[in-house]
């Protein structure tokens, strides 16, 4: 059996840890016959390199980053952990994906936002210095625009521009009556707080331990396992 290593960033926020654990449990429910291990690239233990080495000693494994975009952690931390093992592969990050856009739209609906005339949605992402990350976020914005009836722009907490407060200000300058920050983060934590404090009129909840996010993890795992089987 091919092990699934669910690798998240890690957080010091207990609420965020609880959400990620719940997401991993959703994945286990979708893949009841699969061994699922948690790993982290920062802050928490066990580190991804240690989990990969242990799993590789038992057989093949797929590392699925519980990260929304390509970035330093996928290209360096996870890639470095996987590189020594021919029978371990790295799956793409969770985004872009249609299901993420669906969850974002659901969070907007829960906040009664993003459908009223005069609303403007800012897709508020963590951000990365890697240009590929911004490409991933912009693609999610394209998919979200198909699901909502109001303008959607993008802002970043760090690493890329425009920053979230600037995107909010630009939306207001363009005539928005209400600016909604769609929190494009998985769980409560540092970046969720940055989004909350950026000055939007409404801020949605993070994506959370949604079954649709777990379905993306399972999809990434199955594709990685198929690659290993065909190698």
Of 61, 74, 60, the residue nearest 8 (C-alpha):
74
pLDDT at 130: 85
For residues 137 and 156, give the distance between their C-alpha atoms in angstroms, rounded to a whole number.
9
Do 198 and 127 reside in the same domain of the chain? yes
Per the structure, the count of domains in the chain is 2
Do 112 and 197 reside in the same domain of the chain? yes
Do 144 and 176 reside in the same domain of the chain? yes
Give the CATH number for residue 195.
Answer: 3.40.50
Do 79 and 8 reside in the same domain of the chain? yes
Do 82 and 30 reside in the same domain of the chain? yes
Give the CATH number for residue 24.
Answer: 3.40.50.1400
What's the token pair of residue 192?
A: 């969720």
SS3 label, residue 146: coil
pLDDT at 71: 82
Do 113 and 199 reside in the same domain of the chain? yes
User: What does the radius of gyration of the chain's CA atoms come to, in whole angstroms?
Assistant: 18
pLDDT digits (tens, 9 = 90+) for 11-40: 999 999 999 999 999 999 999 999 999 999
Do 103 and 198 reside in the same domain of the chain? yes
What's the token pair of residue 119?
A: 């609303």
pLDDT digits (tens, 9 = 90+) for 167-189: 999 999 999 999 999 999 999 99
pLDDT at 7: 98
State the residue range of the domain holding 137: 98-203
Give the full edge-to-edge strand order of the sheet including 36-40.
36-40, 3-8, 61-65, 88-90
DSSP at 6: E
């Amino acid at each position: 059996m091919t092990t699934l290593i669910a690798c998240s960033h890690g957080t010091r926020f207990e609420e965020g840890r609880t959400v990620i654990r719940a997401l991993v449990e959703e994945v286990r429910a979708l893949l009841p016959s699969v061994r699922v291990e948690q790993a982290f690239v920062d802050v928490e233990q066990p580190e991804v390199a240690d989990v990969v080495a242990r799993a590789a000693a038992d057989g093949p494994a797929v590392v699925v980053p519980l990260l929304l975009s390509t970035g330093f952690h996928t290209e360096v931390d996870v890639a470095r952990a996987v590189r020594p093992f021919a029978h371990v592969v790295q799956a793409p990050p969770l985004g872009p994906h249609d299901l993420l856009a669906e969850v974002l739209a659901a969070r907007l609906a829960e906040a009664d936002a993003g459908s009223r005339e005069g609303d403007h949605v800012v897709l508020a992402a963590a951000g990365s210095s890697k240009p590929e990350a911004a490409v991933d976020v912009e693609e999610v914005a394209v998919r979200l625009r198909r699901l909502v009836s109001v303008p959607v722009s993008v802002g970043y907490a760090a690493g890329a521009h425009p920053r979230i407060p600037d995107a909010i200000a630009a939306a207001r300058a363009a005539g928005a009556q209400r600016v909604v920050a769609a929190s494009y983060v998985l769980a409560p934590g540092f970046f969720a707080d940055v989004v909350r404090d950026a000055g939007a009129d409404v801020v949605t909840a993070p994506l959370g331990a949604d079954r649709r996010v777990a379905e993306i993890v399972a999809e990434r795992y199955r594709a990685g396992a198929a690659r290993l089987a065909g190698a």
